[in-house]
Amino acid sequence: MRDFLRRLPKAELHLHIEGSLEPELMFSLAERNGVSLPYASVEEVRTAYDFSDLQSFLDLYYQGMSVLRTAEDFHDLAMDYFRRARAEGVVHVEMHFDPQAHLARGVGLPVIMEGLNLARRHAERELSLSSALIMAFLRDRPAEEAMSVLETAAPYWEMLDAVGLDSAEQGNPPAKFIEVYERARRLGIPRVAHAGEEGPADYIREALDLLDVCRIDHGVRCLEDPALVSRLRDEGVVLTVCPLSNVRLKVVERLEDHPLPKLLDAGLRLTLNSDDPAYFGGGMLANFEACTDAFGWSKEVFIQLAGTAIEAAFISQERRLELRRQLAHAH
């Protein structure tokens, strides 16, 4: 089964590229850029990766990204993840990035975009790995700031495959970002949003109704609202679920308690993703293997999940056909 899961062509739709920063690279970039870290060793950083909730993770996450200063840093960050992902059978990666967290440190959009886009081209050429770019807004920051970032990104609108909404969900409903998402809609940029991770099921409904999103990131709390579950099923809305992340951030205590089997039984369209692999216990393969151990799923279930990701990905029809062919040979 493990060999099969490694070979299975996997598309990852929910990844935060800053959350792929492994401690080894963090120390290397800190040295390159003369940034002092509050940790003495790689082991000390890993010990700090024991989170009680989403906020305790975010505190470390923003601290870690302080080492990212130059276009070369963003290139190296993305390539480090792309190489690991490709070795695990990942064929396509859709990466969120958080411009506000970098702008606040004096790192401008041109630096971020140059580094990430260079890595994307290298990954396509060297690894046969396609990718998409999702510019995420920090929901615990003012909506006016998000709008300003979207306008500042005008030179890069054509490069954005979607906009997203992430960071601290509690008390930051999707409704706060109606105008920003309406602006993105008018620009023809697809929209996704984190909802129903720590926040209530009603945030999922808000994201659909008020932000007009085409995918829900996480969405696991939809089960608290049977009418919402029926709607998600009837409309074929894809949920990008992150199993190991949900355990690490105490959305569930153990993976065996995860609602994934119930979500599947309800007929919902799901994908498996790593979220922030450096912080949450591993990449795509680790998440797939953990689900094998927890739920005992058959190969057919994993093929279904991988197929859903390919269908929901921001890719050309030509690439989709290519990935469908790869999946057809996965048995």
Per DSSP (E only), the strands in 60-106 are 90-97
**Residue 331 falls inside a structural domain:** no
Better pLDDT: 86 or 37:
86
In angstroms, what CA-CA distances link 65 with 21, 50, 109, 161, 282? 8, 18, 15, 23, 18
**Residue 36 falls inside a structural domain:** yes
> pLDDT by residue (tens digit) across 253-279?
999 999 999 999 999 999 999 999 999
Pull the structure tokens for residue 215. 């995918």
> Which residue pairs, CB below 8 angstroms and at least 24 apart, start in 115-120?
115/70, 115/71, 115/72, 115/73, 115/74, 115/75, 115/76, 115/77, 115/78, 116/17, 116/74, 116/75, 116/78, 117/159, 118/71, 118/75, 119/74, 119/75, 119/76, 119/77, 119/78, 119/79, 119/82, 120/78
**Residue 78 falls inside a structural domain:** yes
d(CA 323, CA 284) in angstroms, rounded, equals: 17
**Residue 330 falls inside a structural domain:** no
CATH label of the domain that carries residue 116: 3.20.20.140
Judged by DSSP in three states, 130 sits in strand
**Residue 131 falls inside a structural domain:** yes
Domain that holds residue 256: 2-325
Backbone angles phi, psi at 229, to 5 degrees: -60, -45
**Residue 149 falls inside a structural domain:** yes
> pLDDT by residue (tens digit) across 12-65?
999 999 999 999 999 999 999 999 998 899 999 888 888 888 888 888 888 889
Q: Find out whether 322 and 310 touch, Cβ atoms under 8 Å.
A: no
Least confident of 57-61, 112-116, 143-147, 298-302: 57-61
Residue 49: the pLDDT is 83
What is the total count of domains within the chain? 1
Residue 52: the pLDDT is 84
d(CA 65, CA 16) in angstroms, rounded, equals: 12
**Residue 199 falls inside a structural domain:** yes
**Residue 136 falls inside a structural domain:** yes
Active site residue 24: no
Pull the structure tokens for residue 237. 């809305």
Residue located via tokens 């200063």: 69
Which of these is catalytic: 12, 197, 198, 206? 197
